[in-house]
Structure 1
Amino acid sequence: MTITVDETAVPAAPTAESVRVDGADRYPAYDFSRPAQLDRESIRHLEAGFEAFARLWSAQLTAKVRVRAHLALERVELVSYEEYAETLPLTTAMVVGSLVGREEPCVVQFGLDSALLWVVQMMGGRSTSLPEARTFTPIELALVRHLMEDTFEHLHAGLDGLLPGEPRFSAVHYNPQYMQVISAAAAVIVARYSMRLGDAENTATVMIPASAVADRLAASGSDAAAAHTPAHTVAQVRSTPLELTLRLAPLTIGAGEVLDLAPGDLLRLPHPETSPFELVAGNTRIALATPGSRGSRLTCLISTTSEETH
């Protein structure tokens, strides 16, 4: 008797380590240190507010600096303050605005080179390129402060009541890593902009504490949800356009007959002359109707609706 042994390798059973690795690849670990994400309605509300602020700020810079300015909103995100600070340059202009009744401030951040270009233009100079970044002199700081007081007013107006009050100019910081006006783990809402001033391009950000707008965002979301009543839904359904078709009874013929059709051929339709036509929307019959005319236009007279036949 001969015994043949199959030496084909048998796949090894998955080990706990391989299962863990595959699971990690498929289901990334949740980082509980990150703040919760904003819902879509809140994101849309914030984006609309920050876009309105961008238009107001652009108009302000164009009028005050006398060079055409343009700001475009790139994105709005919810992160911790530490994550936000890590994305900023080591040296930049962070203008702090205090909020009434709150310890956490809001921040408008932009490049020092952009601000120095603003100062040059406001002082009557002309420049087509960004100057070298440096901290402000007392006179430059006074001009920037005057400019930013109006900017905070526009921020409050653009966000349309989301902030608890109009921010007030507090200070200018140059190093985000050492700016300890808010906890590193605190959740903040950040709007990121691309900025163009004449031919010079740069970036800017606006940071507001999430706790300052959370209640107002929730209220606006509930108000929006309450506004969508059943009556609104019915009204939208009633205003939806539908294409209606007046249809005869269908005729079934072979494919060969269709291929042999020629001009002048007659097809005998199975629809009785005295029977009404079907009025359909899509493939759904909604009524029976008889054809007619009014002046030069063809019409149909509804004789029976589908509800009456049930």
Structure 2
Amino acid sequence: MSEILSQSEIDALLQALNSGEINVQEIKEVEKSRKVKKYDFRNPQKIAKDQLRTLEIINENFLRFFQTFLSGYLRVPVKASILSVDQFAYNEFNNAISNPAFLSIIDFKPLNGQILIDISTNIVFTIIDRLLGGDGSEVRESRTFTDIELSLMNGIMKKAMPLLKDAWNNIIEINPKLDRIEVNPQFAQIIPPNETIALLTMNLEIGQRAGMMNICIPYLLIEPILEKLSAKYWFSATKNELSENEALEIKRKILNTKVEIRAELGSTTVKVNEILNLQNGDVIKLNNKENDEVKIRIGSNVKYMGNIGVSNNKMAVKITKVVKDGDNDE
């Protein structure tokens, strides 16, 4: 409650105004500068800023895992980053989804509910094109998905479930399971329209193609663990350093990881009509000469140069040079 001024204080205030010690214009400007924020009672802000920040950290981890997985699985550079984290009513998000869409609905046991991952269709068609042997660079699709395409993407999303589990491990042990994939947003009503969701919007770049990925997390799903999403809990639960055993286990897994090594005899460029007319006995000239060294790739990167030969009645390649930095010209 405002304090009532005494008569002497009122006199002193009037005297200060008359003498110019107090500038009335400055007082008015201060009043004008005060900002008033609108509050929408139909869409209350239920998730605190530090809890949104924790969700961002969790999904940054998932995005890093998913990026690494896609890079190896598709054999193409993948870049990913979070663009925004905010909260909305579910119907605002659902109404903004294009049709057809690619919506993965995921059970989040033991939490009661589901999350939704929306990947833009141009990215999905790029992934499908890479899986079927294309380079994914010229995909211009604006149609619904075939059953075979949905089956391929169903496999991709199932492989992403352990990555989602690992990303949440510091907060809660979950067992995410892909429930279904929907292409029509109207059939993806995982919660009532007016319920609050946390929405994480991400950018995905696969080779030369870019698109969006949204992760929709209902408030009702995370309400039982809101305390664990506070900054205080997150930083107390997160280890700053790996233990010696954890570091050794990571090293062991890395050293036992199998990678593909390819020796390339050479390459060339031909027209489509020439490919269509190829027959048995035709000769294709490559860009390498007979005695040139061949490129030896690990994954998509050139790491060595070598000479082709025979060892124990099998084709072999002898390393003649190490390419220190490597290069990727796919």
Establish whether TM, by shorter chain, passes 0.5: yes
- Give the aligned residue type for 1:121: R
Corresponding letter in the other structure for 1:148: M
Secondary structure at the residue paired with 1:167?
strand
Q: Distance in 1 between matches of 2:43 and 2:191?
A: 16
Aligned match of 2:153: 144
Which residue is 2:183 aligned to? 174
Task: Report the CA distance shift for 1:56/1:184 in structure 2 as closer, same or farther (over 3 A).
Answer: same
| In 2: Cα distance, 1:43 partner to 1:180 partner | 22
Equivalent in the alignment of 2:132: 123
What does residue 41 of structure 1 align with? 50
Contact 1:81 1:182 in 2 (8 A): yes
Shift of 1:136: 2.2
SS at structure 2 position matched to 1:185: coil
How many Å apart are 1:210 and its aligned residue? Answer: 1.8
The answer to whether the 8 Å contact 1:189/1:209 transfers is yes
Residue 186 in structure 1 maps to residue 195 in structure 2: yes
Structure 1 counterpart SS, 2:175: coil
Deviation at 1:141, TM superposition (A): 1.4
d(CA) in 1 for partners of 2:120, 2:228: 35
Aligned to 2:102: 93
User: Match of 1:139, SS?
Assistant: helix
Equivalent of residue 59 in structure 2, options 50, 55, 58: 50
Give the whole-Å Cα distance in 1 for the aligned partners of 2:60 and 2:119: 17
Deviations 1:182-217 (A, max 9, x none): 211122111100111111111111112222223323
In the alignment, the residues of structure 2 paired with residue 104 and residue 224 of structure 1 have an alpha-carbon distance, to the nearest angstrom, of: 23
Q: Does 1:202 align with 2:207?
A: no
1:221 CA displacement: 2.6
In the superposition, relative to structure 1, how do residues 190 and 220 fare at CA in structure 2: closer, same or farther (>3 Å)?
A: closer
CA RMSD of aligned residues (A): 2.7
Is 1:65–1:122's contact at 8 Å kept on the other side of the alignment? Answer: yes
Residues of 1 paired with 2:58 and 2:148: CA distance? Answer: 32
Q: Say if 1:220 and 1:100 are closer, same or farther in 2 by CA, change over 3 A.
A: closer
Q: Distance in 2 between matches of 1:184 and 1:127?
A: 36
Measure how far apart 1:159 and its partner are: 2.8
One-letter amino acid of the counterpart of residue 53, structure 1: F
Question: Do the aligned partners of residues 182 and 119 (structure 1) sit closer, same or farther apart at CA in structure 2, a change above 3 Å counting?
Answer: same
CA distance change for structure 1 residues 208 and 164 in 2, over 3 Å: closer, same or farther?
Answer: farther
Q: Which residue of 2 aligns with 1:110?
A: 119
Structure 2 gap segments, 5+ residues each: 1-30, 237-330
Normalising by structure 1, report the TM-score: 0.59
Gaps (5+ residues) in structure 1?
1-21, 228-310
Percent sequence identity is 19
Number of residue pairs aligned between Structure 1 and Structure 2: 205
3-state SS, counterpart of residue 84 of structure 1: helix
Does the 8 Å CA contact 1:57/1:154 hold for their aligned counterparts?
yes
* Letter aligned with residue 68 of structure 1: P
Does 1:159 find its partner at 2:162? no
Matched residue, 1:263 = none
Residue 123 of structure 2 aligns with an amino acid whose one-letter code is: S
Q: SS of 1:57's equivalent?
A: helix
User: What secondary structure, in the 3-state scheme, does the structure 2 residue paired with 1:136 have?
Assistant: coil
1:19-98 correspondence to structure 2 within 5 Å: 27-98=36-107
SS at match of 1:130: coil
CA distance in 1, matches of 2:193, 2:53: 26
Cα distance between partner residues in 2 of 1:150 and 1:163? 20
**How far has the Cα of 1:178 moved from its partner?**
4.2
The superposition leaves residues 209-235 of structure 1 with CA deviations (integer Å, 9 ceiling, x where unpaired) of 2222233231353853996xxxxxxxx
With over 3 angstroms needed to count, the CA separation of the structure-2 counterparts of 1:113 and 1:123, relative to structure 1, is same
Q: How does 1:288-303 map to 2 (within 5 A)?
A: none
Q: Cα gap change, 1:134/1:166 in structure 2, threshold over 3 Å: closer, same or farther?
A: farther
Contact 2:52 2:198 in 1 (8 A): no
Amino acid in structure 2 at the alignment position of 1:189: A
Q: CA deviation at 1:179?
A: 2.3
CA contact (8 A) 1:97 1:169 kept: yes
Q: Is the 8 A contact 2:126 2:209 kept in 1?
A: no
Shift of the 173–162 alpha-carbon distance from structure 1 to 2, 3 Å rule, reads: farther
